Amino acid sequence: MEVILASTSATRQSMLRSAGVMATAVASDIDEAPIKQSFRDAGQSAAAAAMALAREKALAVSARHPDQLVIGADQILDCEGRWFDKPADASAAAEHLRKLSGRVHQLETAIVCAAGGACIWAHSEAPRLKMRPLSDAFIAAHIRSEGDRILYSVGAYRLEGPGIQLFERIDGDFFAILGLPLLHLLSFLRQFGVLPS
Question: Looking at the annotation, which residues are catalytic?
Answer: 74
CA neighbor of 125 nearest in space, from 70, 62, 170, 159: 170
Which DSSP letter does residue 185 get? Answer: H
Task: Give the burial string for 147-185 (b: 16+ CB within 10 Å, else e).
Answer: eebbbebbbbbbbeeebeebeeeeebbebbbbbbbbebb
Is the CB of residue 69 less than 8 Å from the CB of residue 4? yes
Rounded to the nearest 5°, which phi and psi values hold at 30? -80, 155
List 107's β-bridge partners, or say none. 77
Contacts of 107 (CB under 8 A, 6+ apart): 75, 76, 77, 78, 125, 126, 127, 129, 154, 155, 172, 176, 177
